Structure 1
Amino acid sequence: MVHGIVAGMSYPLRGLGLLRRSPRLWTFLILPIFVNIIVGALIYVGLLLPAWSGLDGAALWLDQWASGWIAQLPAWMGLLENLILGVAWLVKILLTLALFLLTGFLLLQFGTLIGSPWYGQLSEAVERSRLGYATVIDVGIVRDLGRAILFELKKLLLWGAIALILLLLSFVPGIGPLVISLGWFSLTALITGLDFLDGPSERRRYRFRRKLALIFQALPASASFSVVCCLLITIPFLNLLTIPLCVVAGTMFWCDRLAPRLEPTPPSTEPLPLNE
């Protein structure tokens, strides 16, 4: 179990190593990064900056709230001052992380949707280098577009169903805030994992349920991989580069940990070099 967790966490680093050794792959990165810059600029200007301004207002309110509580305390309860200030700072940090997570998640959804043709080529090139072949079932551009839209809708339905459960659990006294915080992050990580592991599965035209089942079959490695990728897309500006990196890492993960149990490698094929 520990080995699986560590292995899953290592794939972004493995992906970085593959990119360093494979100059040909960089030709597939230029346009996705350009798309990410455009989408990221719209999200940062339209969401991050206004939300950051609102966060400053919330932080000021928290400071005033903490000061008000402290002023009402009797002298013998002065020890609670540090506790109240600590809670206020913790709330500030959590709100900041939630904002970064939201903007990174939106960048992932819109960036990968708009840049899907180039991400598909990148993933296919990595699969060929890893397995020596790439399975592609052609269904035509119209059906391919329909599958992409349906995939997004099913992710939205999955998100909504789990979000409703989390919302109900948030009213449980005592554990509600902790459950909803961990639950929201886990849900975001699950959707992130679905996105980054989708390339090889989509080329084989797997159903949504099977794509979801593959993540659970690859536990705990798939969980640690998804969490690390979720953290990487949370870092502002750096996520413009880490999203393509995680596409590479996700394809490597699929080839190493899922392909052997799904389809035997044809004996006549060998991994193709990319360091040209």
Structure 2
Amino acid sequence: MASVRAFLGGVGFFVQGLRWMARHPGSWLFGLLPAVVTAVLYIGVLIFLGTRADDISAYFTPFADDWNAALRNTMRAVIAIVVFGAGLAVAVLTFTPITLTIGDPFYQKLSERVEESYGEVPEGIDESLWRSIVRSVKDSLATLGYALLFTVPLFFLGFVPGVGQTVVPVLGALVSGFFLTAELTTLAMERRGILRKERFAILRANKATAVGFGVVTFLIFLVPLGAIIAMPVAVAGAAIMVRLNLAAASEGTAAPDARVG
């Protein structure tokens, strides 16, 4: 029961981010810019992949040129679908870290504005912009690597009849939600000097809250244009969640998954 309350608390932090944005529409528009840029790039890549999936499939299966036409076309159609599906899955997994990297100055400022509305803003890590970008990219790659350890097996399990249409989508949403939260909470946690290893330890200790926040974000991101519109909301909600729940838990002032804001 406590885990359910913590999960719903995580969802509640996204709602709090939405409320904050509704009160500060200028900040919402400010935060849309990097998401729009990333979305345009990704849409272009996916259109290319979708229109060339058949050619890619044929390129990697020259051994099938002499097969029966029906068998050859069926196999290549399946491979083309898998190629496009894999590209779409990678796009979903990488949209947030790429957007946060492209829009780092925007989202840093947005996250700080959210925290200012709650009181004093932590000073953050004293390092050069270049070093900050390099560390951010390394952390995002590490997080993506962890995510792929789970999502790649789930992708192939998706082709298993029954399981692929029921269990796998649920597990995929939970896994993707957790790693989305890991990315989105980076700004507010690093502002407190909490780097990747400690950050993941905090998220694991508050897993239900982290998953609740991430799952609602993930589901909204799947809606057409949802990722663009909801990205500033997710950044704001993550800042609120870290300030009211996760940072306090890391300091020992709250039990894991206890404070749901």
Amino acid corresponding to residue 259 of structure 1 in structure 2: A
| Residue matched to 1:115 | 103
RMSD: 3.5
Structure 1 unmatched runs, 5+: 55-95, 266-276
Report if aligned partners of 1:48, 1:103 keep a CA contact under 8 Å in 2.
no
Task: Determine if contact 1:15/1:246 at 8 Å carries over to the other structure.
Answer: yes
Task: Determine the C-alpha separation between the residues in 1 that align with 2:95 and 2:168.
Answer: 23
Structure 1 counterpart of 2:233, which letter? L
| Structure 1 pair 264–183 and aligned structure 2 pair: CA distance change class (3 A) | closer
Q: Which residue of 1 aligns with 2:114?
A: 126
Do the aligned residues in 2 keep the contact of 1:39 with 1:111 (CA within 8 Å)? Answer: yes
Aligned match of 1:86? none
Return the alpha-carbon distance in structure 2 between the equivalents of residues 175 and 101 of structure 1. 18
Rounded Cα–Cα distance in structure 2 between residues aligned with 1:107 and 1:48: 16
**How far off its partner does 1:31 sit?**
4.5
Question: Is 1:257–2:259 an aligned residue pair?
Answer: no
| C-alpha distance after superposition, 1:125-181 (max 9, x if no partner) | 212222433231212223212211211121132123334665797799985775544
Q: TM-score, normalised by structure 1?
A: 0.67
Partner of 2:144: 156
Kindly indicate whether the alpha-carbon contact (under 8 Å) linking 1:33 and 1:241 is maintained by their aligned counterparts in 2: yes
The alpha-carbon deviation at position 238 of structure 1 amounts to 2.8
Decide which moves more: 163-172 or 216-225. Answer: 163-172
SS in structure 1 at match of 2:121: coil
* Structure 2 counterparts to residues 41-190 of structure 1, below 5 A: 41-47=40-46, 51=50, 103-163=91-151, 166=154, 180-190=168-178
Query: 1:98, CA displacement in angstroms?
Result: 9.0
Choose which of 223, 231, 245 in structure 2 pairs with 1:243. 231
| Structure with max Cα Rg | 1
Unpaired runs of 5+ residues, structure 2, are 54-83, 254-261
Q: Give yes or no for contact 2:14–2:233 (8 Å, CA) kept in 1.
A: yes
Distance 1:15 1:168, change over 3 A: closer
**Equivalent position amino acid for 1:11 in 2:** F
Instruction: After superposition, give the CA deviation of every residue in 1:220-255 in whole Å (9 maximum; x if it has no partner).
Output: 222111100111111111321101110000111111
1:234 paired with 2:222, answer: yes
- Does 2:17 align with 1:18? no
Partner of 2:69: none
Match of 1:77 in 2: none
Residues matched between the structures, number? 223
| Counterpart contact for 2:115–2:121, Cα < 8 Å | yes
TM-superposed CA distance for 1:32, in Å, is 3.6
Inter-CA distance 237–138: structure 2 relative to 1 (3 Å threshold)? same
User: TM-score scaled by structure 2?
Assistant: 0.70
Q: 1:234 to 1:263 in 2, by over 3 A?
A: same
SS, match of residue 236 in structure 1: coil
| Percent of matched pairs sharing the same residue | 22
SS at match of 1:130: coil
- The 3-state SS of whatever aligns with 1:233 is helix
